[in-house]
Chains A and B, each alone.
Chain A
Amino acid sequence: DAKTTQPNSMESNEEEPVHLPCNHSTISGTDYIHWYRQLPSQGPEYVIHGLTSNVNNRMASLAIAEDRKSSTLILHRATLRDAAVYYCILRANFGNEKLTFGTGTRLTIIP
């Protein structure tokens, strides 16, 4: 599986935007970039995914670099409920179907 690299932890102030980076320099042309988050004592929750173009949904935005070797998850206005571990995962389009989680980024929101 192609590997992703994320900072272990980040802090952000409440009501400020948050930019969570992810490096994936060995991404292949058919790998999708997926983001999940895990709140304390819960299972992971799907956030967003994309292939080449930037993506927006009600939870977040995903900005993908032109060479696809990095991406950024953007939370436009962080709330205390966004405190979680955020995982950036590459998912192969064919064959290897499973999600392979790393250790993610632990996001702390400061009131």
Chain B
Amino acid sequence: DTGVSQDPRHKITKRGQNVTFRCDPISEHNRLYWYRQTLGQGPEFLTYFQNEAQLEKSRLLSDRFSAERPKGSFSTLEIQRTEQGDSAMYLCASSFSSQNYGYTFGSGTRLTVV
């Protein structure tokens, strides 16, 4: 297993377009998290899944954002009608549910909305 993979690494889109990002977690991990990070700030929590169930969503996750994790494997994060304020790094992480393990993050998808 090579870790958490995110695709694409970079995405430039025009305002108003829809975009979808994919995350492939470490296969043994049952938890999957999405974060967003803007320049100079720490990552902000968006949502997380345990297996295929979405257990928590941040209020940052407006109705233009939707995340899925079908069959508890990979996950997708879709942003509809993108706005310039959506420009950020979108990070995915996975972990076991136990406190004895840390998160493993991917390298992120950098979204630029023009």
**A residues touching B (Cβ–Cβ < 8 Å)?**
32, 34, 36, 41-47, 49, 85, 87, 91, 93, 97-104
Contact = CB atoms under 8 A, between A and B. Distances in A.
A98 B102 contact: no
Nearest to A100: B45
B102 A36 contact: yes
Contact of A32 (B35, B42, B44, B99): B99
B25 interface: no
> Which 10 residue pairs are nearest across A and B when measured between Cβ atoms?
A46-B102, A43-B105, A101-B42, A98-B45, A101-B43, A44-B105, A43-B91, A43-B108, A43-B107, A103-B42
8 contacts: A36-B102, A44-B43, A44-B91, A93-B99, A97-B48, A101-B42, A103-B42, A104-B42
User: From DSSP, what is the main secondary structure of chain A's interface residues?
Assistant: loop
Contacts of A103: 40-42
A104 B45 CA distance: 15
B73 interface: no
B21 to A, nearest CB: 13
